[in-house]
């Protein structure tokens, strides 16, 4: 994915724009902690900021550090996760907290290898924590940054569905050599993608790099991967069914009887498949009845 665009021609106006337009988010505040940044990154996976911010604030008030989350009951963690979606992230976050306590004395490490060894931490999250928590140089490449670089540097409407080696090399070529500059670029390019260079309705007239953007210069050609980007409707999906089961278990004051679970969804086969998936993921527990006349019950894990 070669580019003739001078990195400074992109970085300088984007960072200047960020200084004026950056959102005031709590995980960017001067008193942020590495753990708070890590929590925000896990919560923000596939969940918009408007839903994450109040959940993050409540979570950090209750469990300000890894040791607090590690000592909490899994049921409380899942209840606090509430409707952020993809609740397996909550389980991984608690496992991560326990690993931070056991391996690092309760302090989130700044070393990339140590971060990657934590449960639920992949290459993006490790890079983001290094940049946003510790101000270290790293290649932070989320969907927003990928889109900005695909358009401005490569002239494509959207990046390829799967990240490529060439794309990572391109992104690395735009990262400043110094830690502070690299961290600022990571935040600025991500913010530009989130607020201006959006996927469906990019605001090119408000873009600080509209005059050097290869995609705009090419007449904003369509997405070559459009047929591979169809998103599944939520209604009727297994995800909706699992969400209903999890909501029932979260809101219950005690064990939930089998008949209450059975009443959640008309398709018994789909419901059983989804319940089995929750049990396999460790998000729910089935307690068999004491005899054939006593129905099973379901609860959150302790």
Neighbours of 70 (CB within 10 A): 18
Query: How many whole angstroms separate alpha carbon 106 and alpha carbon 97?
Result: 8
CB 184 within 8 A of CB 18: yes
**DSSP assignments along 178-237, one per residue:** SHHHHHHHHHHHHHHHHHTS-SSS--GGG-TTTTT-HHHHTT-PPPTTGGG-PPPPSTTS
Contacts of 255 (CB under 8 A, 6+ apart): 287, 297, 298, 299
Contacts of 74 (CB under 8 A, 6+ apart): 91, 94, 300, 301, 302
Sorted by where each starts, the structural domains of the chain and their CATH numbers stand as 7-217 (1.10.340.30), 238-299 (1.10.10.10)
CA dihedral 197, 201, 204, 205 (to 10 degrees): -130
Q: Is 48 exposed, middle or buried (0-12, 13-18, 19+ CB in 10 A)?
A: exposed
Tell me which residue of 279, 280, 297 sits closest to 288, measured CA to CA. Answer: 297
pLDDT score recorded for residue 223: 66
Residues designated as active site: 41
pLDDT score recorded for residue 222: 87
pLDDT score recorded for residue 233: 79
Query: How many whole angstroms separate alpha carbon 282 and alpha carbon 275?
Result: 11
What is the per-residue pLDDT across 78-104, written as a single tens digit (0 to 9) for each?
999 998 999 999 999 999 999 999 999
pTM of the complete model: 0.89
pLDDT by residue for the chain (302 residues), tens only, comes to 445 689 999 999 999 999 999 999 999 999 999 999 999 999 999 899 999 999 999 999 999 999 999 999 999 999 999 989 999 999 999 999 999 999 999 999 999 999 999 999 999 999 999 999 999 999 999 999 999 999 999 999 999 988 999 999 999 999 999 999 999 999 999 999 999 999 999 999 999 999 999 999 999 998 665 544 555 678 899 999 999 999 999 999 899 999 999 999 999 999 999 999 999 999 999 999 877 778 899 999 99
Contacts of 288 (CB under 8 A, 6+ apart): 296
Query: How many whole angstroms separate alpha carbon 90 and alpha carbon 40?
Result: 12
pLDDT score recorded for residue 294: 81
CB 104 within 8 A of CB 132: no
């Amino acid at each position: 994915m070669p580019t003739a665009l001078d990195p400074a021609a992109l970085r300088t106006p984007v960072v200047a724009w960020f200084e004026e337009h950056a959102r005031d988010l709590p995980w960017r505040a001067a008193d942020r902690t590495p753990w708070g940044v890590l929590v925000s990154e896990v919560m923000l996976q596939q969940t918009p900021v408007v839903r994450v911010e109040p959940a993050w604030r409540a979570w950090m008030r209750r469990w300000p550090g890894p040791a607090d989350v590690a000592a909490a009951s899994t049921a409380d963690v899942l209840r606090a996760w509430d409707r952020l979606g993809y609740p397996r992230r909550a389980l991984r976050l608690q496992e991560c907290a326990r690993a931070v306590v056991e391996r690092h004395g309760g302090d989130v490490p700044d070393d990339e290898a140590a971060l990657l060894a934590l449960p639920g931490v992949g290459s993006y999250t490790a890079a983001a924590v290094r940049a946003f928590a510790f101000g270290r140089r790293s290649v932070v490449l989320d969907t927003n940054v990928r889109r900005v670089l695909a358009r401005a540097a490569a002239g494509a409407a959207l990046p390829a569905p799967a990240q490529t080696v060439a794309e990572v090399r391109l992104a690395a070529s735009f990262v400043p050599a110094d830690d502070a500059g690299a961290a600022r670029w990571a935040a600025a390019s991500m913010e530009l993608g989130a607020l201006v260079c959006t996927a469906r309705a990019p605001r090119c007239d408000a873009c600080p790099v509209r005059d050097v953007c290869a995609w705009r210069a090419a007449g904003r050609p369509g997405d070559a991967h459009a047929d591979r980007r169809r998103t599944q409707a939520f209604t009727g999906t297994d995800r909706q069914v699992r969400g209903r089961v999890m909501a029932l278990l979260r809101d219950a004051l005690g064990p939930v009887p089998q008949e209450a679970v059975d009443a959640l969804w008309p398709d018994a086969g789909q419901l059983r498949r989804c319940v089995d998936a929750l049990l396999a993921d460790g998000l729910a527990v089935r307690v068999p009845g004491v005899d054939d006349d006593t129905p099973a019950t379901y609860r959150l894990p302790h």
